[in-house]
Chains A and B, each alone.
Chain A
Amino acid sequence: AQKVTQAQTEISVVEKEDVTLDCVYETRDTTYYLFWYKQPPSGELVFLIRRNSFDEQNEISGRYSWNFQKSTSSFNFTITASQVVDSAVYFCALSAVDSWGKLQFGAGTQVVVTP
């Protein structure tokens, strides 16, 4: 069975501070994909990043970066120099490679950025 744990329920920061969101996952699959989605108050889930399990290279995309460590089953996500528009719920999700994209989500972390 798959499980995704986001231990942080809410994080509050002041604009321009960095925000790091933690994600720990469990899976028996040897090959899988990890995602981060953003859910603003409007409700739709917005795709942010995708990482496959056989590529542990960490990258930076604009103000977003991620730290994937297979040894500790963690896939943390950082927003650099946060902005008020980053306020949303962020979900970490896991998908097995043969699951036709079926996503297992964590419970989400509410990020509040104040001016």
Chain B
Amino acid sequence: DAGVTQSPTHLIKTRGQQVTLRCSPKSGHDTVSWYQQALGQGPQFIFQYYEEEERQRGNFPDRFSGHQYPNYSSELNVNALLLGDSALYLCASSLASGLTFNYGYTFGSGTRLTVV
């Protein structure tokens, strides 16, 4: 049973460019959340997708956007990259019914984004 799969694992981009990160949720999961983890810090919630719509969002600018497809996979897009966007981006999946009772997520291994 595959867990959460993220691609690519590592990425280097230039300031001002745009990037797309991809996530395939664990089999059977329908909700995807994205977290940004800067070096030496805890993950910060970016947003959550359910039924192909953004259900809730953290304190991140509009440069961060996302999408969820009918097969529940998801993308995170970041426009106009800044040096401060360098971080590990974690995707987490769950069942919506499980989140009602805060059963928690299954996390992927993340995409390490470096902006130069």
B56 within 8 A of A: yes
Instruction: State in angstroms the CA–CA spacing of A27 and B94 once bound together.
Output: 24
Contacts of A43 in B (CB 8 A): 88, 90, 109-110, 112
Contacts of B8 in A (CB 8 A): none
Q: Which of A55-63, A73-81, A96-104 contacts B (4 or more CB under 8 A)?
A: A96-104
Instruction: State in angstroms the CA–CA spacing of A37 and B48 once bound together.
Output: 19
Number of residues on chain B facing chain A (CB within 8 A): 34
The total of Cβ contacts below 8 Å across the A-B interface reads 77
Nearest residue (CB) in B for A35 is B104
A33 within 8 A of B: yes
Contact at B104–A50, with CB atoms within 8 Å?
A: yes
Contact at B41–A108, with CB atoms within 8 Å?
A: yes
A105 partner, pick from B3, B42, B103, B110, beta carbons under 8 A: B42
Instruction: State in angstroms the CA–CA spacing of A97 and B98 once bound together.
Output: 12
Instruction: State in angstroms the CA–CA spacing of A104 and B106 once bound together.
Output: 16
Docked complex: B36-80 residues within 8 A CB-CB of A: 40-45, 48, 50, 55-56, 58
Instruction: State in angstroms the CA–CA spacing of A47 and B108 once bound together.
Output: 12
Contacts of A82 in B (CB 8 A): none
- Chain A contacts to B: CB under 8 angstroms: 4, 33, 35, 37, 42-47, 50, 52, 91, 93, 95, 97, 99-108
- Chain B contacts to A: CB under 8 angstroms: 3-4, 31, 33, 35, 40-45, 48, 50, 55-56, 58, 88, 90, 92, 94, 96, 98-100, 102-110, 112
Nearest first, the 7 A-B pairs at minimum CB distance are: A105-B42, A101-B99, A45-B107, A33-B102, A44-B109, A43-B109, A43-B110
